[in-house]
Amino acid sequence: MNRHGLLREQALAFRARHVPGRPIVLPNAWDTASARLVEQAGATAVATTSAGLAWALGAADGDRLSRDDALAAIARIASTVAVPVSADIETGYADDAAGVGDTIRAVLAAGAVGVNIEDGLYGGDAPVRPAAEQAERIAAARQAADAAGVPLFVNARVDTYLRGAGELSETLERAAAYLAAGADGVFVPGAVDPGIVKALAEGIDGPLNVMVGPGAPAVGELAALGVARVSAGSALAQAVHGLVHRAARELLDAGTYGELAGGSGYEELNALLGRGR
């Protein structure tokens, strides 16, 4: 199968796994090692975390990473796993809708078959982009993917709850606008209260993605509420970096190594990273 055919096949498979009540579960990765480990653990797809990826490349999250650097990292991840890859592209790595289209073409060239595009803004007075403007950016993403002949899964992230920029009614209005513009699903990070999640699942005419971490309802509970996609965002990366800090402090302060227990074996990691795709 040629590359285009493989992308189409993976995109269709990834799209089919977004089922309300039987959600796809995505422990987000940020580099080739974490992607391989997530795949080995049994994930049916690998999603990137923009925060974890940025931290691994020496940048802060929040549109601080260049498109070229982000897409190079996504390409490395896509080339090293056999399952579909969805790329977190923050606000689209572009100033306008046309630029978002360019980013989507680069995403497809990198080998990813899904994207998250967020409406949150960084560095300005407004916490979120105007809905009409964001809809134009989503439409540009849809048009670029369709022109390439790949049914890219466009996951429209609504940052109303995460950024304190509105609650249920505003979120539902934005979700409807983004779906009408060509999004395939809606991602509402910051919403984990069961009542809110249920209302979102019932009020959004498309697959709902919820972001989880410590304190969030279990996957089974979210499934019962109608969620179609569960992702961990930067939580795995934060856990790993927390372990690095604790282990370093223990080694430097106490001269002991307790935090290092339970690590992956050297030969296991070497074999995992040494295998061909």
What is the pLDDT at residue 247? 98
pLDDT at residue 276 tops 70: no
Q: Residue 142's closest CA among 92, 187, 188, 84?
A: 92
pLDDT tens-digit profile of 16-63? 999 999 999 999 999 999 999 999 999 999 999 999 999 999 999 999
Report pLDDT digits (tens) over 183-204. 999 999 999 999 999 999 999 9
Q: Say what the pLDDT of residue 61 is.
A: 95
Q: What are phi and psi of 44, to 5 degrees?
A: -90, -5
Domain-wise residue ranges, the chain: 3-234
Q: How confident is the model at residue 258 (pLDDT cuts 50, 70, 90)?
A: very high
Residue 4 has pLDDT above 70, yes or no: yes
Alpha helices in the chain (DSSP H): 3-16, 32-40, 50-56, 67-80, 97-110, 131-148, 168-181, 194-203, 219-224, 235-253, 266-274
Residues 87-100 have a mean pLDDT of: 98
Q: How confident is the model at residue 275 (pLDDT cuts 50, 70, 90)?
A: low
- 3 state SS of 229: strand
Residue whose entry in the numeric block shows the structure tokens 């961990």: 232
Cα–Cα distance, 193 to 196 (Å, whole number): 5
Which class does domain 3-234 fall in?
alpha beta
State yes or no: pLDDT of 81 exceeds 60. yes
Give me the residues paired with residue 187 across strands. 157, 209
Average pLDDT over the chain, rounded to an integer: 96
